[in-house]
Amino acid sequence: MKAATRLQGVKDNWEALRGDLDEALTYNRKLWVILSTSATSADNPLPKAIKESIGSLGVFVFKHTISVLANPAPERLAILININRDIAAGLRGR
């Protein structure tokens, strides 16, 4: 949720916080490196299909992050915010 909140803050206050975009995206990318790496490791007991889905989602997040850095716009952050919120809700059991 922290990554989603940081990205949402930049999105909602684009003119004032656009300079914080790189930092918010870097934080999100680090989070996804940890999540993707741990979820897809050979010793993780998750079913193969879930591991593959998380891995694919991680690849999407990384590609979209690069795309946002190349062409910054507040509306382009929405997908990253929604993914983070959905994953957080799932981890909390909702």
**Backbone φ and ψ of 47, nearest 5°:** -60, 150
CA atoms within 13 A on the CB side of 94: 6
Residue 46 CB neighbour total at 10 angstroms: 14
Q: Are 68 and 25 in contact (CB under 8 A)?
A: yes
pLDDT at residue number 94? 56
pLDDT at residue number 7? 97
Q: How far apart are CA 33 and CA 55, in angstroms?
A: 10
In the chain, which stretches have pLDDT less than 70? 94
pLDDT at residue number 93? 84
